[in-house]
Structures are given as structure tokens and as C-alpha cells.
Amino acid sequence: DAIRASLKGALIAWDPVAQRQVWRSEQPGPGAGGALVTAGNLVFEGNMQGAFKAFDAANGRELWRFQAHTAVQGSPVSYSVEGKQFIIVLSGYGGGFGISTPLGDGTHIRPNGRILAFRLGGTARLPKRDDYGLPPLVSVDETFSQEQVERGKHIYETTCAWCHGSSAQSSGVAPDLRRSAALADSALWRDIVLGGVLSAGGMASFADVLSPEEAESVRAYVTRRRP
């Protein structure tokens, strides 16, 4: 709770000439999306809690908000079609912050992306978001030595955590290895980590980095990781 409370964010309007803050809008946490300023003096920005907002560029007063029911981390853009202006933004949990942050229990941070387009007079309604539960943790009925587990922890945190999350807690952007069927199958695990059988899906072979023993140590470590 203390760590969560320490994570903060804000949208700040900065005067580069006077070198001072003009206004500030506090965010409920870090990882907010990029900002867009329009010729109409509006600032658009989304946040991790699913709120997509419009602010008065002069004073930071919130003028409008929309709840996307998933994180809005993309940078909005503006375009026009037949004289009508649109604001479009990509929603969904991801990015550098998203891939390194464990997936929580909140309903607003599932990796369920959409492209959202807005215009004055728009009447479309947001379809209900697909809500799905997480796969169960895989139980492994094998015994590993503490030395294997500790070695696997070091390898995991320096090699695997960049995508699969620190302490084997995934953000959901990349698979949570604690919930992978391969965790209970040493041969399948080896085929994936070293053989590259899932390379077409983005999981490259690490055969030039890890030995079979090291790959097995990583599996040993992940089997010990629980919420």
C-alpha cells in the first residue's frame, strides 16, 4: 500500500520562457497517456484509470471526460473529414510502464485495447467491454533445489522480467508464466525458451543466451512464484 501511495502523476502546463508551472492537474497514478493541444485551446489526455479528459489549455480546468473502461495510454490525434473535426485515441493497457507493471484486480487495466474516435454531435455508445478472468495458476508437482530456484531468480530478473514482469508477475501484455501450461512440461518449456517454437508470436529463442540447465532453473523459480 505504501508503494502504491507513492506512485503519482500529473499533467503540467509549463511556461518555457518564464521557466515556471502555469497549471497542474493531478493524476491518480503514473503511466498517463500523451497530450494533444488543439487550436481551440483544449488539452486532451487519458490515464491508467480509463479516463479520457479535455482541459482548458489556459487554466487546466477539466471540461469533459469519458470513461473508456480500460487504460488510455496512447497519444490522441486530431483530424478532419468533410469539415468535421475528430479526436482519436488508442486505449488499452501497454507501453513501457504497462509491460513492467503487474496486472492487478482492477477492471480498468485489462489489456483490452480499442480505437476510440470522438466528435461534436457524436451518438455512438461504447460497446460493453469483454470481461475475462485470468487463467488459473499452474500447479507443478516437482521438486527443485533451493540453489536451482535462486539461480533461476537471478536469470529471470535479468533476462525475462523485461517482458514477463518482475517477480514473475505479468502485466498481461506478455504471458504470465505462472499460468502457462509449459510450466508443468519441462520439454515444452525448453522447446519454447531454447527451441523458439513460439518465435512467430514474438517469443524468440534464447539458446544463444541460456543453457538447458539455466532455462530449467528459470522454470524452477517460476513454479515457486505465487500471488
* H/E segment holding residue 153: helix 146-155
Distance CA 197, CA 100 (A): 24
Domain 146-224: CATH superfamily is: Cytochrome c-like domain (1.10.760.10)
Pairing of strands 51-56, 62-67: antiparallel
Per-residue pLDDT for the chain (227 aa), expressed as one digit of tens each?
A: 676 677 788 999 999 999 999 999 998 888 888 999 999 999 999 998 889 999 999 999 999 999 998 889 889 999 999 999 999 999 887 766 666 666 554 444 455 688 999 999 999 998 876 666 678 899 999 999 999 999 999 999 999 998 898 899 887 778 899 999 999 999 999 999 999 999 999 999 999 999 999 999 999 999 999 87
User: Reduced to 3 DSSP states, what percent helix, strand and coil does the chain have, rounded to the nearest 5?
Assistant: 30, 25, 50
- Residues with Cβ < 8 Å from 219, sequence gap 6 or more? 152, 183, 186, 189
Q: Whole-structure pTM over 0.85, yes or no?
A: no
Fold designation for 2-118: Lipocalin (2.40.128)
3-state secondary structure 40-105: CCEEEEECCCCEEEEEECCCCCEEEEEECCCCECCCCEEEEECCEEEEEEEEECCHHHHHCCCCCC
Could you state, in order of their start, the residue ranges of all structural domains in the chain? 2-118, 146-224
